[in-house]
Amino acid sequence: MEKNIAIIFAGGTGQRFGAEIPKQFIKIYGKEIIIQTLEKFQNHPEIDEIYIGCIDEWIPFLEHLLDKYNITKVPKNGIVGGGNTGQDTIYKILSKARENNSDNSIVLINDGV
């Protein structure tokens, strides 16, 4: 079945940003930046699924946020650990989305921050 899939790249460490935590998890206006991004796709009627690339050690926290903010379009295996580079991470996310979907699905790639 053809789906519209959002790929969210949120695997950066934010070193250049200078914060103690990755910038995608910093709160702005009381909500994490990654959640503000995900809510746009969650609420869009034409997006069927969301896959996210995330730093391995931050995956449990991201899973907590998905539950807390009721982000339901991320499938159970939809959070993918990061690769050695941003390009590697995007490839890993695309590969996971391909495992679960048909080849004629449409994919949008968006930076998580």
- Are the beta carbons of 19 and 97 closer than 8 angstroms? no
Cα gap 106→113, rounded to integer Å:
22
Task: Tell me the per-residue pLDDT of 26-70, one tens digit each, with 9 for 90 and over.
Answer: 999 999 999 999 999 999 999 999 999 999 999 999 999 999 999
Q: What is the rounded average pLDDT of the residues 73-98?
A: 92
Rounded CA-CA distance 58/16 in Å is: 18
Cα 86 off chain centre by = 13
H-helix or E-strand containing 37? helix 33-42
Considering the chain, what percentage of its residues have pLDDT values greater than 70?
A: 92
How many CA atoms are closer than 13 Å to the CA of 62, on its beta-carbon side? 31
- Quote the pLDDT of residue 30: 94
